Amino acid sequence: MTDPTVTLLTPTYAGDFERFCLQRESIERCGIELPHVAIVQHEDLPRFKDLPHQRGLKLISTRDVLPRHIERRRTVWGVRRRDPRRWFSGKPIHGWATQQFVKLASPLVIQSEGIVCLDSDLVFIRHTNSADFYAADGKLHLYESFDDVDAEMAEWTGRSMKFLGVKATRKPVSRFTHSPSVLHRQVLLDMQQYIEKKYGRQWIDAILQFGMVMEYSTYGVFAKYVDELRRVAPTPPPLSVYFWWPEEVAEIERTFESRVAGSEAKIVAVQSNNGLSPAKYRTLIERAWNRAAASVPAI
């Protein structure tokens, strides 16, 4: 039975097709009944129409989420300056940035209270349900950590504070950029309204005018310091084992078993920027699925 309180969300495109297929397979292999929305770059939709493991999945075009002028600017990324399309579309926007906008704009196509953002390089290894994303008091999680903040991530939080007009004085630096990340739908809507009132323009245009800010850090700063944690509960991120840095990915075959078996994590993140094909670690994921299945008591 589908659980309607939380929806999984994946912004994706053709370059991540294999990763997304593995993610979809993992959702079904782990018996996850949460609805899943994938927002696909419009020109790549035909590639995704016949992908396997579509139970509970809804495919949506970026045209249905992004404003028309942003979608135009996305499609001219990589087009030569002399191409006439550049004359009418405005400054190009990288797909990486528009995927962030898609997450922040997701209330247009998702109605559930919780929106769990999954990049295409996340794979489930154990059963997951809506309870995994809620605190004991019924508030949705806000994933926040303090012991893994490097200079770059500290800057992301600081820029989001500046963008939202939150004074940083005497506030501890924390990290809100986690995979997955959980967003409260109404908090997102209130944040959009807050930005538009502050800057006098559409929230996406305000972000672009200011200079790009990270989606998760901006949401986290708003939820914590502007909305004052009324609807979310700060929580150390418990669900993922990360193979994030190049040295971690290079050692994945040697360290995967011990890192996964030694945790209660339900998701593995293999950072796609490192270029490791899913075929290279599929066997490791298969073993994790088999272990999880073997640990379920027989009825």
pLDDT classification of 87: cutoffs 50, 70, 90: very low
pLDDT band at 57 (very low <50, low <70, confident <90, very high): very high
pLDDT of residue 160: 97
H helix count then E strand count, the chain: 12, 10
For residues 4-13, give the mean pLDDT: 94
- Decide: 77 and 94 in contact? Cβ < 8 Å: yes
pLDDT of residue 78: 59
Q: pTM for the complete prediction?
A: 0.93
Number of other residues whose CB lies within 10 A of the CB of residue 93 = 23
Domain ranges of the chain: 134-238
* Model confidence pLDDT, tens digit, residues 37-47: 999 999 999 99
Q: What DSSP line would sit under 191-216, residue for residue?
A: HHHHHHHHHSS-HHHHHHHH----HH
**Which residue's entry shows tokens 């696909």?**
40
Ranking 70-84, 95-109, 215-229, 264-278 by mean pLDDT, the lowest is: 70-84
Can you give the pLDDT at residue 34?
96
